[in-house]
Amino acid sequence: MNGDLDIYIRAPNGVSDSSKYLPNGVAYGNCPFSSPWMDVAQYNIWNPKTRSLLQNYMLSIASYADGIRSDMSHLLFTEEFHNMWGTELDAWGWKKPSDEFWLVALKNLKSK
């Protein structure tokens, strides 16, 4: 793994495609029905470090606001995420998590 870049989806080694990846290999955000969103870097939701980071962001926001909007949140469901990013995840050896990110994150948020 590669330090802080591991919180993002990255191009498989040797793959360079400026329409899908930043120069450092980090993937642009995307969904199955559009072209890449070149103003967004794609988090790797299968990485426990990313999950923790995002949950901490949500806890911080919740200390100031009573609601959080997450656009395109369905893209983080395990199967949906694998369908979109399976090639990249497999190339770097990431394994499917045993739980859904949103179920854990919302449970943790509600408990605080």
pLDDT of the chain, 112 residues: tens digit per residue: 556 899 999 999 999 999 999 999 999 999 988 999 999 999 999 999 999 999 999 999 999 988 888 889 999 999 999 999 999 999 999 999 999 999 999 999 888 7
- Angle among Cα 42, 32, 34 to the nearest 5 degrees reads 85
Rounded Cα distance between 112 and 110, Å, is 5
Reported as half-sphere exposure (CB side, CA atoms, 13 A), residue 68 has a value of: 19
* Structural domain count of the chain: 1
Q: What confidence score (pLDDT) does residue 2 get?
A: 59
Structural domain of 40: 3-111
What pTM was estimated for this model as a whole?
0.89
Are the C-beta atoms of residues 111 and 35 closer than 8 Å to each other?
A: no
Q: What confidence score (pLDDT) does residue 79 get?
A: 96
